[in-house]
Amino acid sequence: MTVTREPSSAAPRPGRHSAVRSLLRLWPYVRPVRGRLVVGALSAVVASCLGLLIPLTLKWIVDGPVAGRDPSGVWLGGLALLVLGVAEAGLFGVRRMIVAGPLARVEADMRAALYARLQRLPVSFHDRWPSGQLLSRATTDLMLLRIFLSFPLTFLLVNGVTIVVGCVILLQQRWTLGLVLLAPVVPMVVLCSVFEERYARTARKAQDQIGDLTTVVEESVLGIRVIKGFGRHRGQERAFRALSWRLRETELRKAGLLGTLWALIVILPELAIGAALVLGVVEVGDGELSAGTLVAFLSTALALRWPVESIGFLLAITNESATATDRFFEVMDTAEASAGDAVATAPVLAGARVKDAGLRLEGVWFRYPDAPEDAPPVLCGVDLSVRPGETMALVGATGSGKTTLTALVPRLHEPTAGRIVLDGRDITGLSRERLRELVAVAFEEPTLFSASAAENVLMGAPDAGEERLLAALAVAQAEFVHELPQGRRTRLGEQGLSLSGGQRQRLALARAVIGEPRFLVLDDPLSALDVHTEALVEAALREVLATTTALVVAHRPSTVLLADRVALLSRGRIAAVGTHHELLHTHEEYASLMSGPAGPEGGDPR
Amino acid sequence: MTTTVSGRPAAEDDRPEEPPPGDPFDRDVLPTPKGASRALLRSLLAPARGRVRLAAVLLLLQQAAVQAGPLLVAYAIDSGVPAVRRHDHGPLVAVAAGYLVCALASGLLQMAFVRLAARVGQDALLELRGRIFRHAQALSIDFHERYTSGRLISRATTDVESIRELLNDGLQELIGVALSVLYVSAMLLWLDPATGGAALLSFLPLALLVRSYRRRSLIAHRRRSTAIAAVIVKFTETMNGIRPVQAFRRERANDADFDGLNRVHQRTNTATALAMAHYVVCSRLVANSMVAAIVVWGSYRVADGSLALGVLAASVLYLRRLYDPIDRLGMFLNTYQSAAASLEKIAGLLARRPSVREPEAPVALPVRPPGRPGREVVFDGVRFAYRAGAPVLPRLDLTLRAGETVAVVGSTGAGKSTLAKLLARFYDPTEGRILLDGVPLSALAGPELRRGVVMVTQEAFLFSGTVAENIAIGRPGASRAEIERAAKAIGAHDFITALPDGYDTDVRKRGGRISAGQRQLVAFARALLADPAVLILDEATSSLDIPGERAVQRAMRTVLRGRTAVVIAHRLSTVEIADRVLVMAGGRVVEDGVPAELARGGGHFAGLHRAWRDSLV
């Protein structure tokens, strides 16, 4: 079993931007907490300065009061030390405390934004992106960004400034020796930029591989029944093992790059210090330089060692954060389900003539946006008109595009061409919100969420009262919820009780009808029901359908009989419209689709 | 830990009932044996013991090379300068050579250490990921039904991630801190035992601080790990149900729910950072006051002549360095506690024993005599109840003869699916046993069991990969010809070849482009390829259209010949091909006989059959 790579169409990567450019995009999320971050950084700087004062105070105590045998001076010095120490500790604490909350907030805000965006991206986006890739963006990537903002970013600034100031001091002390020390700067900058390029690429690869790994984990948990049913743990495990092995290789490559960078960043400055030392000693020997100046010069140089060395891992984490930011914005930059949402909605029937009422599809074409060029479209010119109050059954062979067609009405997918008109209004002129209020759907695969049974049904009409809830449950023959362990408050879905397919389907049906929607789209809503229940649901559903404009996908005559008319979908078009009996006698394909196994001749279906 | 739908009027009464307190599953804390997390870490690192030691040695050498730098500077100034003045360049050359060696050594050793440590860490992570995955796959269905996929994903991703952080930097930090404390303490004691002793005394309050910090931060990290798992649960649920989410305008309500969980995680995140801040402040305070106290004390001792001025000066400088690693220790402890919280959760998961266990002494199925179709199945006094519930099957005694096709009908909750799941050994019976050709299912090893019994369910889950790969799950290693034969037999070949890449079409995210009916056909082909002695079909044709169903039935007449089959269906069309029908109600078999006879009689089945006939129009 291979695992899908992240689709290239979903993640266009136009030559990576520089790390800085990527990271600057974080600003809108950091902006609200900028004050706290600045105060935090400032207290870090002040605390570092106080930290530098402490050795000076020690020196003063030893040279002054102690050497001069001045007890009151010693106490004064001790007190000064204590004050400085307390202040330093306090400021370090303040820095951490002041940024702890805001940075957690930045992470949470970004996650909320990602979640909100993902919920509103078109279904076609979700079809393309493996969910593990989305999840890893929402978790590991964002955690990394929080860590980056909390320390490395500050260190990068503080250490960078320290290095610059240190170099200025070095040049001032002895510019010849200073130049010797600065000699490795050019090769280091070149090497670092080469490193940056490579490391970023490898880090990105590792992050994508974590996403793939997450996808395999998710699938093997969601598909556990299949895996168990076939005893295929080994196969899944092999796939997982191969992926985690690949991830390990990438991580080792990252470590290899990092190790090389460390080596360069340690060796080059050390060599320069060594050269400066030798030169300095010669100069002191020649009497051109005082020994004191050389000591001061070298102590400064040695003090700069840590800031310089830290650049290695700081660069690494900066690059990783930059690629994590890229990954985040790849999703955020995807256009939200296009147009329509901003349009103010006029009353639906405004200006429309009565004959326009109902649901009409006019020359609707559809092909999946990521389908290969040469693949035929799923729908090619569907014309269908459902009169107000009418129930239209939609019949077609398995895979003929019935489900796709139903997904176009609530705009889960957008038609490639043509338009869909509800009560005289093009649906693209309605806000999605309003459209989905008008159209309720029951999907063939009923999904229940982690919520109580009642809440799952009430999702169709958030402010429906008790009465309507009971009525909807009655229509769908879903009164079984009252028999559940905690009645209608029983938690369902993944975190709760699992129901049978038929039970789930009935709840999904109740969810669709509870809102008393103007348009009802039902995708084979009774497929998992047994004959008795089906008959009961049909009887109850008839009353609902009498007053609703409905499109019902049907596989069986019993479901078709709910409808006033039937449309046959064949080869991407509506091949025929009529009543069940008309079509049964006049249309061969329809007859073969509808004749049961005990049907008259049971000829070849295809 | 609950996710409830919020922002709705009159929803208050419809909130899901809170789980009984104390259910470890709902609080995401499975009982973990004491010390299990540390034992887990040890067992992960055990194979790399040699490498860990080598890494420690590399780091020691590297530190030695680094510390040599200042010594060389001192030597250069003390001996090099006078020598140069005497025109003796020997010492200077020695310094130059020494510096070169030290520079190269510290750089190269650092590189070697980073690479070696990464290897140790990555190997441990590989092993850990593998163990979590294997174990999760081995755990029984009832575990999966309670633990939720989101939590398992969280264990295998974010929890592993926090252990990765520990393995990545932990070793270096720990060795660095230990070395520096040892070195500085030794110097202090050597310079002046009294000062050194006093400094060591300060370790007592510091140790107490470390202890209290560890306790606090472990609790905070535990909460954090639970909180992120809850976030992941909600996230995956939403993304997997994106169609209904959008169609029912759940976006805003979901935003609110997610926000709640996300904010809990934010708070726990803040709490871990604050615990760290608290530790840093307190320990710095202790350290800085200690420095002040020792300096004052030392000064008095200098004043009364019991301490040399130079020694005080040197001690004071070292003293400051003694406390330098406090922050680094804090960072290390933070990553350690975060990893410990995750290890705990992972260890809790790994400690779960599958309730359906592999036999310790597996028994092989008897060899089937040639010509004998399928295998015989016996339910022997089987009783079954889901956890804390009334029995679903009070007592079942049933024999399915080898080669027989048995249809099971009955209303929802009659126990049909339970019967199927028990036969597929998704669960073990509470009492009694199920025998396959006389061998209890629980005595069969996994592969043997799956050669014996395979189940096709109503939800036809497709894994990402190609159509061919999805069919091949039935029998890994099957050739393309065999895969196509299975697909043809069930009538799936035509639609598959019509796909853009035929059998090599990628089904992408859980088969988004393949209709529900087609998916069921793929699942069927999968089962055919597995070629089991006993085939269970649990409402496996519900989404097929009539021609599809008819094709499947025609295929089944040949396919089911030669094996025992249990067919659960609410469409009685399937029953027509059965040799025998069982009607179930309330967990009991209420009617049992040949379909035609039962249909003629006046029982339950006759009623069902009539209703079905009528529904065909």
Determine the distance in angstroms separating the CA of A559 from the nearest CA of chain B, rounded to an integer: 9
Question: Is residue B381 domain-shared with residue B351, that is, in the same domain?
Answer: no
Distance from the A122 Cα atom to the nearest Cα atom in chain B, whole angstroms: 9
B492 and B535 part of one domain: yes
Q: How confident is the model at residue B5 (pLDDT cuts 50, 70, 90)?
A: very low
- Name which residue leads in pLDDT, B53 or A345: B53
Q: Which amino acid is at A61?
A: I
State pLDDT tens for residues B279-293. 989 998 998 898 888
Are B420 and B309 members of one domain? no
Look at residue B1 and tell me whether its pLDDT is greater than 80. Answer: no
Residue B309: CATH number of its domain? 1.20.1560.10
Kindly state whether residues B241 and B337 are assigned to the same domain.
yes
Question: What is the least distance, in Å, from the CA of B273 to any CA of chain A?
Answer: 6
| Mean pLDDT confidence for A408-424 | 90
Is B81 among the domain residues? no
Say what percent of chain A tops pLDDT 90: 26
Domain that includes residue B303, residue range = 192-355
How far, in Å, are A222, A225, A226, B13, B136 from residue B148 at the CA level? 9, 14, 17, 25, 11
Of B92, B458, B469, Cβ closest to residue A528: B458
pLDDT confidence of residue A342: 41
- C-alpha torsion B356→B359→B364→B366, nearest 10: -60
Contact A116 B608 (CB under 8 A): no
The answer to whether B122 contacts A129, with C-beta atoms less than 8 Å apart, is no
Q: How far is A543 from chain B (nearest CA, A)?
A: 19
The architecture that CATH gives domain A355-594 is 3-Layer(aba) Sandwich (3.40)
Asked if residues A78 and B295 have their Cβ atoms less than 8 Å apart, the reply is yes
Write a three-state SS string for B107-161. HHHHHHHHHHHHHHHHHHHHHHHHHHHHHHHHCCHHHHHHHCHHHHHHHHHHHHH
Q: A102-105 — which CB contacts under 8 Å span 24+ positions?
A: A102/A32, A102/A33, A102/A36, A102/A37, A103/A33, A103/A146, A103/A149, A103/A150, A103/B273, A104/A146, A104/B266, A104/B267, A104/B269, A104/B270, A104/B273, A105/A32, A105/A33, A105/B266
Chain-chain contact of A602 with B550 (C-beta, under 8 angstroms): yes
pLDDT surpasses 60 at A604? no
CA A383 to chain centre: 37
Mutate to test the interface with A, among B243, B450, B483 (most CBs of A within 10 A): B243
Question: Which residue is closest to B536 within chain A, CA to CA?
Answer: A229
- Tell me which residue of A571, A560, A168 sits closest to A379, measured CA to CA: A571
Q: Give contacts of B 87-146 with A, CB under 8 A.
A: 92, 95-96, 99-100, 102-104, 106-108, 110-115, 117-119, 122-123, 125-126, 129-130, 133-134, 136-138, 141, 144-145
pLDDT above 70 as % of chain A: 91
- Tell me: pLDDT of A470 over 70: yes
Structure confidence at residue A355 (pLDDT)? 56
Answer whether B112 sits within 8 Å of A259, measured CB to CB. yes
Interface test with B, best of A143, A314, A530, A553 (most B CBs within 10 A): A530
Contact A266 B246 (CB under 8 A): no
Distances (CA, A) of A258 to A323, B116, B460: 16, 12, 46
Looking at residue B387, which CATH number applies to its domain?
A: 3.40.50.300
pLDDT at A16: 55
Tokens matching residue A471: 């009525």
pLDDT at B73: 80
Inter-chain contacts counted by CB atoms under 8 A, chains A and B: 596
Q: What is the pLDDT of residue A12?
A: 39
pLDDT tens digits along A83-124 = 988 998 898 888 889 999 999 999 999 999 999 999 999 888
Answer yes or no: do B602 and B456 share one domain. Answer: yes
Per-residue tokens: A74: 């010693």
Which pLDDT value is given to residue A347? 44
The owner of tokens 């070629």 is: B531
Q: Is the pLDDT of residue A62 over 50?
A: yes
Interface test with B, best of A142, A188, A266 (most B CBs within 10 A): A266
Q: What is the mean pLDDT of chain B?
A: 84
Q: Which residues of B touch A60 (CB under 8 A)?
A: none
User: At A558, is the pLDDT very low, low, confident or very high (cuts 50, 70, 90)?
Assistant: confident
- pLDDT at residue B80 is higher than 50: yes
Which of B15, B99, B281 is the closest to A90 by Cβ? B281
Residue B316, pLDDT > 80, answer no
Residue A56, pLDDT above cutoff 80: no
Q: Let me know whether B330 and B413 are in one domain.
A: no
Q: What is the mean pLDDT of chain A?
A: 83
The span from the CA of B465 to the CA of A226, in Å, is: 15
Q: Which two tokens stand for residue B424?
A: 């597929």
Task: Name the residue in chain B with its Cα closest to that of A562.
Answer: B615
Min distance A15 CA to chain B CA atoms (Å):
26
Q: For chain A, which residues make up each domain, given as ranges?
A: 355-594
A322 Cα to chain B: minimum distance (Å): 18
Q: With contacts defined as CB-CB under 8 Å, which chain B residues touch A592?
A: 547
Q: Going along A348-456, which residue ranges are E strands? A: 359-366, 379-386, 391-396, 417-422, 425-426, 439-442
Residues B350 and B389 in one domain: no
> CB distance A597–B144 less than 8 Å?
no
Q: CB–CB of A82 and B289 under 8 A? A: yes
Chain B nearest-CA distance from A9, in A, is 13
DSSP 8-state assignment for residue A349: T
Evaluate the CA torsion angle B455, B459, B460, B461 in order and state its sign. negative
- The answer as to whether B180 is a domain residue is no
pLDDT at B376 over 70: yes
Longest dimension (CA), chain B: 125
Residue B544 to residue A240, Cβ atoms within 8 A = no
**Higher pLDDT pick, B270 / B520:** B270
Residue A4 has pLDDT above 70, yes or no: no
Q: What is the mean pLDDT of residues B368-380?
A: 84
Domain ends where: B325, B355, B385? B355
How far is A18 from A29, CA to CA, in rounded Å?
A: 19
Closest B-chain CA to A584:
B617
Do residue B551 and residue A447 have CB atoms under 8 angstroms apart?
Answer: no
Here the tokens at position B472 are 């091949």
Question: Are β-strands A549-553 and A519-523 bridged in parallel, bridged antiparallel, or unpaired?
Answer: parallel
- In a shared domain, residues B339 and B390: no
CB contact under 8 A, A281 and B80: yes
Q: How many separate domains does chain B show?
A: 2
**Which residues of B are less than 8 Å from A397 in CB distance?**
545, 547-548
The answer, yes or no, to whether residue A597 has pLDDT greater than 50, is: no
Q: How far is CA A254 from the centre of its chain?
A: 25
Q: What is the pLDDT of residue B512?
A: 45
| Token pair of B443 as six digits | 């005595």
Distance CA B267, CA B227 (A): 9
Classify residue A440 as left (phi > 0), alpha (psi -120 to 50) or beta: beta
- What is the DSSP secondary-structure string of B9-59? TT-GGGSPPPPPTT-TTTTT-----TTHHHHHHHHHHGGGHHHHHHHHHHH
Q: Judge if B338 and B383 occupy the same domain.
A: no
Residues B350 and B430 in one domain: no
Question: Which is higher by pLDDT, A67 or A81?
Answer: A81
At residue A495, the pLDDT reads 61
User: How many angstroms away from the CA of A220 is the closest CA of chain B?
Assistant: 8
Q: B602 in contact with A at a CB cutoff of 8 Å?
A: no
* Contact across the interface for B546 and A605, Cβ inside 8 Å: yes
Please give, rounded to a whole number of angstroms, the shortest distance from the CA of B573 to a CA of chain A: 7
Residues 182-211 of B with CB under 8 A from A: none
* Residues B560, B577 contacting (CB under 8 angstroms): yes
Confidence of residue B544 (pLDDT cuts 50, 70, 90): confident
Same domain flag for B239 and B320: yes
For residues B311 and B424, state if they share a domain: no
Write the burial class of residue B451 (CB in 10 Å: 0-12 exposed, 13-18 middle, 19+ buried). Answer: middle
- Find the residue in A nearest to B85 (Cα): A285
CA distance B115 to chain A (A): 6
pLDDT tier at B261, thresholds 50, 70, 90: very high
Whole-angstrom Cα distance, residue B486 to residue B501? Answer: 18
Which chain B residues in 229-248 lie under 8 Å from chain A, judged by CB atoms?
231-248
Note the pLDDT of residue B485.
Answer: 92
